[in-house]
Amino acid sequence: MRLYLINPSNPLVSMVRVKENRWNRYRVWKPLGLMVLAGLTPPEWEVTILDENRGVPDYSAMPRPDLLGITAFTSQANRAYEVASQFRRLGVPVVMGGIHATVCEDEALERVDSVVTGEAEAVWAQVLQDARHGCLKRRYCGGFADIDKVPPARHDLLPTGYACGAIQTTRGCPLNCSFCSVATFNGLQYRQRPIPDVVQEFQLIREKQVLVVDDNLVGTRPEDLARAKDLFRALIHADLRKKWIAQATINFADDEELMDLAAKAGCRGVFIGFESPTVDALRELGSKYHLLKGRDFRASVRRIQRHSILVVGSFIIGLDADEALIGRHIADVARRYGVDYLNVLFLTPLPGTRLWDKMKSEGRIVLDGFPEDWKYYTLTFPVAQYMHLSLNEVIEEMISCERGFYSVPHLMRRVWGNLWRWRNPLITLVGNLSYRSNSRLAGKAYVDFKCEQGQRYIN
């Protein structure tokens, strides 16, 4: 039995343009969900993972599979449906899973044979058995998996062409930010994989550099932090010699022992959501406000960096409190905090979030011709009507923010600062150049976007 698992591409996602920017090799990430699915697949199936982010294969020249499994974030849904229809025309049954099929199940069901919602661990064996006997059901509900039963991903598949491997150690997030899909999809409960499973799986990863995909590797409660420390101790003990980056909340900076162990276990960078420089905007997010309010971010960032861990700061433009000059304000604040990279995204109503419900009820979702418009849900296009900013204004804010942070003098100052303290200066340079180059590409993309979609907005 032959199974293809496909990760569809979205040409509008700048990070997949590897040919245009060679540094993007470091920003193309392995589709871990499909690698986990492959790990759940019994040996009688011959599995091939096809990642369109590395180039779209000529499917017609490939042997016909017995089953196609396709994944999609919302931004990839369009392309997923195109690929599905191509295979269905050949009589290949198509099953779709992942976040988009979960939150837009009915839409997906119109375009594929079968949909798996939620995490796949509990149902994938059944799906394969049914496919084998030609009796696929239309819907399978995976719900939240038993975290102890997550198998190691197939790290032997997709062995080349990526700078980093990938691993997941926890699922779920209790903070439930208004714009985020994680609580809907992985639940509010913070579930942790057994540490021996994680260490064993780390050993299977071939790459020296690894992305830990957890939404928050350290968690927020004392018992979460204790587990993170135990995990780091186990990784140190295993002496894996891997360097890894992860996402964490800012409370990571509150615990010297935690940061010390993380650094010794191989942590070289953390991605932290600061979300907004203004208190009013932070209130819109939900309970994360309490984690962020009243902090000395500059001191927090410095404490992390003292452990030779780089900090990526993430912010959102387009929150209801955001007014003119928010872009420059974010760039100034991010420089003041001293983050090594800045990642800024447009506030985007993703289906299944509280933000979606709010914006929909207020009639503010402009790009709502689905599924075609999903391709713009990359968080790098303004798909909604923002409270105080027109389309042109919100785009200008984004441009001024990125120009302000990635201007050559500021960029060189950051690299020089890290060279002076001998804190990964080369990675700082490469990362900053990659972000700068992508922001230039985005500038061109906004021109096309305004030409094609501008008339749909009220200015």
Minimum gap (Å) between residue 437 Cβ and ligand B12:
16
Q: Of these, 180, 213, 225, 245, which contacts ligand SF4 (CB under 6 A)?
A: 180
Minimum gap (Å) between residue 103 Cβ and ligand B12:
6
Q: For residues 75 and 300, which CB has a smaller minimum distance to ligand B12 in the complex?
A: 75
Stretch that binds ligand SF4, among 72-80, 125-133, 161-169, 172-180 (CB under 6 A): 172-180
The option from ligand SF4, ligand B12, none interacting with 183 (CB < 5 to 8 A, set by class) reads ligand SF4
Stretch that binds ligand B12, among 98-106, 227-235, 318-326, 398-406 (CB under 6 A): 98-106
The torsion defined by the Cα of 426, 305, 333 and 386, in degrees rounded to 10, comes to 80
Our finding on whether 347 is near ligand B12 (CB under 6 A) is no
Our finding on whether 379 is near ligand B12 (CB under 6 A) is yes
Our finding on whether 121 is near ligand B12 (CB under 6 A) is yes
Our finding on whether 384 is near ligand B12 (CB under 6 A) is no
316 strand-pairing partners = 345
Q: Of these, 52, 121, 130, 215, which contacts ligand SF4 (CB under 6 A)?
A: 215
Minimum gap (Å) between residue 397 Cβ and ligand B12:
18
Minimum gap (Å) between residue 155 Cβ and ligand B12:
13
From the list 103, 81, 99, 61, the residue with the least C-alpha distance to 6 is 81
What number of other Cβ atoms are within 10 A of residue 298's Cβ? 13
Q: Of these, 39, 65, 69, 93, which contacts ligand B12 (CB under 6 A)?
A: 69
The option from ligand SF4, ligand B12, none interacting with 305 (CB < 5 to 8 A, set by class) reads none
Minimum gap (Å) between residue 29 Cβ and ligand B12:
4
Point out which residues bind ligand SF4 (CB under 6 A): 173, 175-177, 180, 182-183, 215-216, 273, 288
Q: List residues near ligand B12 by CB under 6 A.
A: 7, 10, 13, 29, 31-33, 36-37, 69-71, 73-76, 95-100, 103, 116, 119-121, 124, 145, 168, 180-182, 186, 213, 215, 350, 378-379
